[in-house]
Amino acid sequence: MWSTIGELGEFGLIERVTARFPRTGDVILGPGDDAAIVTAPDRRVVATTDLLVETRHFRREWSSAEDVGRKAAAQNLADIAAMGARPTALLVGLAAPPDLPVDWADGLAEGLRAECAFAGAAVVGGDTVSAGEITVAVTALGDLQGLPAVRRDGALPGDVVAVTGCLGLSSAGFSLLEGGIGGAEDAARVLGLRAPAGGPGWLACLREHRRPRPPYARGPEAAHLGARAMLDVSDGLVQDLGHIARASGVGVDVDSAALVPEPALCEAVALLEELGRPGRTALQRMLFGGEDHALAAAFPPETDLPPQWRPVAAVTAPGAGGPGVTVDGAAAEPQGWEHFR
Amino acid sequence: MWSTIGELGEFGLIERVTARFPRTGDVILGPGDDAAIVTAPDRRVVATTDLLVETRHFRREWSSAEDVGRKAAAQNLADIAAMGARPTALLVGLAAPPDLPVDWADGLAEGLRAECAFAGAAVVGGDTVSAGEITVAVTALGDLQGLPAVRRDGALPGDVVAVTGCLGLSSAGFSLLEGGIGGAEDAARVLGLRAPAGGPGWLACLREHRRPRPPYARGPEAAHLGARAMLDVSDGLVQDLGHIARASGVGVDVDSAALVPEPALCEAVALLEELGRPGRTALQRMLFGGEDHALAAAFPPETDLPPQWRPVAAVTAPGAGGPGVTVDGAAAEPQGWEHFR
């Protein structure tokens, strides 16, 4: 058997991983030709691309290969959902050193497959090249199903901003990993904590960080409900709502009382305090934490929102400082994530 | 002014480079939202992705940033053309160290823009992240204009295989660069050669290596002419025809007499001999050289081929060894490019 992708070779690796990827009704031509062919039923295609780089976006000691595959797929498929579209297809480029274990490449492919299956999409193509570090480049395609796209620039004063999905958990999970807590056994070793049956609740923060579960179906739902602006919350709620504020020329005022932390987040914050690494509060993590992959959307005030959409902010006329985000009426320092800085 | 992309920051860099990219009639929504939206007039979209990694696929001392941008776009847009489709859009991911000069990022963007303009496509989205090495991840989309896609698996015994575009020049250009010859002044310095007015002919090999010019419009033309199989010649003619042979279950016999080297290729091979680096002959470079980005297609024998399509091989029943490629009836050793090996 081959133990590294260098021994297996480019074509062997491609053959091996593409064998995992099932077709869906959207796949006209899958991997193996110069290009793939995917359905675009309403004569428009939604497309987005993202890169994940080892040590910047994931660490092999913190996340399994399957985790990385799921996350790489999820963050792109979430961008498709954030336009109000149904994800249809994924293309994946893998740059990796020749000594990468074949098992790791298998795990990555399995993660990509599983997340696509969860979102209703299919892996239709890709590329593999040798490189000094691992980079996973993912492109996702989607179908708007005849609905208008939900962009960032349509919010109007008076609209209600609602969120669906988790806020703050991924940030707390990241801090736990930085503190050496990758599971219940680490907490037992470091703090002598005994896990309750079924595991401690804060494990959900590690899960959300390693394998975010974007609420894909809520994207098209928001479009059906008449959402006027929407985005994927990936760089922190305040920073991302700032994109809607500036694109729409409005103010967005977050009501902090509406940001009720999940028990898992509160447990993780308490554990971080016990570890002597308190860092941000639960509320700060919900406002500024990254990689949530929740959806935030501005709806007309009369919209009858399903319970999964939690109102958290109001759209207002822009304040004296121009379009931007406030929290409880006061200026919020941007503390989201930006590359290169 | 900012001198590195680290000083400029992620959002500054994105704003700066996207300002360069004009819209075309296919762009419904360009860069700046969660995802782009592109027309797919016949309810199908063709999609392909490729990675370019510094030192593996390009070297900053051999190619300008604009060269790298043009080549990154060209190799993906060529894959779209090789399906018989019209390129419509490009998405580009850039992973780069924070100390990358802003000038280099500008040049890359200019190269992407220029090649898209040449092919009739538009840059509609992307991503930038920090990394230890430069990786350019490109995804191209295309429109089949109602025609059947030209895959790799439709060639039939009796078909004529024809090529359009350059063969062997990129391979000779690469060897010249390896020999320290990046232009006419290097040849003057190393060999005392004085360049004729207008420059020596072998410069075309350097140009083809740095900025391949795929014959985009010939892809849809082949589909109109009824091509039964087609691909982009990127890993060497023999290796790539092998993909058609195996996918179609046929033999492909190349007629070496039909491979007439261009004068530029002959000049480059002569120059390499003078440099004491003879390497492959002109014919070997046409058979096995990589990164040509020509198109090769199998046409029914009665096809009235335009002069830009040069017949070079015949499709036969598979030989005793199964589907594969022969040259003048004899087995050809595969000598194309494969990653990781």
Nearest to B127 among A9, A49, A131 (CB): A49
Q: For residue A129, give the nearest of A86, A104, A94 by alpha carbon.
A: A94
List the domain range (segments joined by +) for residue B262: 160-331
Burial of B186 (0-12, 13-18, 19+ CB in 10 A): middle
For position B341, what pLDDT does the model report?
47
Closest residue in A to B244 (Cα–Cα): A33
Q: Using 70 as the pLDDT threshold, list the residues of chain B that sit under it.
A: 193, 195-198, 333-341
Establish if B34 belongs to a structural domain.
Answer: yes
Tell me, yes or no, whether A153 lies in a domain: no
Check whether residue B201 and residue B74 sit in a common domain. no
Angle between helices A102-119 and A65-81 (to 10 degrees): 30
3-state secondary structure chain B: CCCEHHHHCHHHHHHHHHCCCCCCCCEEECCCCCCEEEECCCCEEEEEEEEEEECCCECCCCCCHHHHHHHHHHHHHHHHHCCCCEEEEEEEEEEECCCCEHHHHHHHHHHHHHHHHHHCCEEEEEEEEECCCCEEEEEEEEECCCCCCCCCCCCCCCCEEEEECCCCHHHHHHHHHHCCCCCHHHHHHHHCCCCCCCCCCCHHHHHHHHCCCCCCCHHHHHHHHCCCEEEEECCCHHHHHHHHHHHHCCEEEECHHHCCCCHHHHHHHHHHHHCCCCCCCHHHHHHHCCCCCEEEEEECCCCCCCCCCEEEEEEECCECCECEEEECCEECCCCCCCCCC
CB contact under 8 A, B35 and A151: no
Q: Using CB atoms, pick whichever of A9, A56, A141 lies closest to residue B340.
A: A9
Distance between CA atoms of B337 and B341, rounded to whole angstroms? 9
Regarding whether A167 and A43 lie in a shared domain, the answer is no
Per-residue pLDDT, A337: 53
- CA gap A5, A16 in Å, rounded: 11
User: Where does residue A21 rank: exposed (0-12), middle (13-18), buried (19+ CB within 10 A)?
Assistant: buried
What span, in angstroms and rounded, lies between the C-alpha atoms of B167 and B285?
7
Nearest chain A residue to B40, by CA: A43
Are the C-beta atoms of A230 and B35 separated by less than 8 Å? Answer: no
Residues B124 and B187 in one domain: no
Distance CA A307, CA A217 (A): 14
Position A338 scores a pLDDT of 55
Return the amino acid letter for B167.
Answer: L
Question: pLDDT in tens for each of the 341 residues of chain A?
Answer: 779 999 998 888 988 888 889 999 999 999 999 999 999 999 999 999 999 999 999 999 999 999 999 999 999 999 999 999 999 999 999 999 999 999 999 999 999 999 999 999 999 999 999 999 999 999 999 999 999 999 999 999 999 999 999 999 999 999 999 999 999 888 888 887 676 666 789 999 999 999 999 999 999 999 999 999 999 999 999 999 999 999 999 999 999 999 999 999 999 999 999 999 988 999 999 999 999 999 999 999 999 999 999 999 999 999 888 999 999 999 876 555 555 54
- pLDDT tens string B266-289: 999 999 999 999 889 999 999 999
CA distance B123 to B14: 12
Three-state secondary-structure class, residue A195: coil
Q: Which residues of A touch B82 (CB under 8 A)?
A: 34-35
Tell me if A11 and B338 make a contact (CB, 8 A cut-off). yes
Q: Does residue A43 form part of some domain? A: yes
Structural tokens at position B133: 């090495």
Other C-beta atoms within 10 Å of B78: how many?
A: 31
The pair of three-digit structure tokens given for residue B160, joined into one six-digit string:
């004529």
Identify the pLDDT of residue B119: 98
Are both A253 and A217 inside the same structural domain?
yes
Token digits of residue B128: 């930038």
Answer with the one of B89, B117, B143 that is the final residue of a domain.
Answer: B143
Across B32-42, b (16+ Cβ under 10 Å) vs e yields ebbbbbbbbbe
Q: How far apart are CA A38 and CA A25, in angstroms?
A: 9
Q: B152, A34: Cβ pair inside 8 Å? A: yes
A32/B135 touch (CB, cutoff 8 Å), yes or no? no
**Residue B337 falls within a domain, yes or no?**
no
**A299 domain residue, yes or no:** yes
Domain end marker among B143, B175, B195: B143
Is the residue at A33 inside a domain? yes
Is there a single domain that holds both residue B182 and residue B323?
Answer: yes
Distances A134 to A66, A206, B47, B241 between C-alpha atoms, Å: 14, 22, 23, 31
Same domain, A211 and A299: yes
Give residue A156's Cα distance to chain centre: 26
Q: Are residues A201 and A69 in the same domain?
A: no
Residues of B in contact with A246 (CB under 8 A): none
The CATH number that applies at residue A30 is 3.30.1330.10
A42 backbone dihedrals φ, ψ, rounded to 5°: -105, 25
B156 within 8 A of B290, measured Cβ to Cβ: no
Q: Which of A43, A92, A95 sits opposite B39 (nearest CB)?
A: A43
CB B124 within 8 A of CB B138: no
Contacts of A304 (CB under 8 A, 6+ apart): none
- Give the span between the Cα atoms of A269 and A273, in whole angstroms: 6
- Over residues B184-207, the pLDDT tens digits come to 888 888 887 676 666 789 999 999
**Statement to judge: residues B135 and B167 lie in one domain:** no
ipTM, 2 dp: 0.94
Mutate to test the interface with B, among A5, A45, A239 (most CBs of B within 10 A): A45
Same domain, A269 and A208: yes
User: What 3-state DSSP class applies to A326?
Assistant: strand
Question: What CATH number should be reported for the domain holding residue A237?
Answer: 3.90.650.10
CA distances to A164, A266, B21, B297 from A204, in Å: 17, 11, 42, 54
Q: What are residue B177's phi and psi, to 5 degrees?
A: -60, -40
Last residue of a domain, one of B90, B110, B143: B143
Element (H, E) at A13: helix A10-18
Residue B340 resides in a domain: no
Burial of B260 (0-12, 13-18, 19+ CB in 10 A): middle
Cβ within 8 Å, pair B125-A49? yes
Q: How far is CA A300 from CA A134, A147, A248, in A?
A: 44, 17, 14
> Is residue B341 a part of any domain in this protein?
no
Contact state of A49 with B137 under an 8 Å Cβ cutoff: yes
Q: Are residues A256 and A194 in the same domain?
A: yes
* A44 and A167 housed in the same domain: no
Q: How many structural domains compose chain B?
A: 2
Same domain, B276 and B173: yes
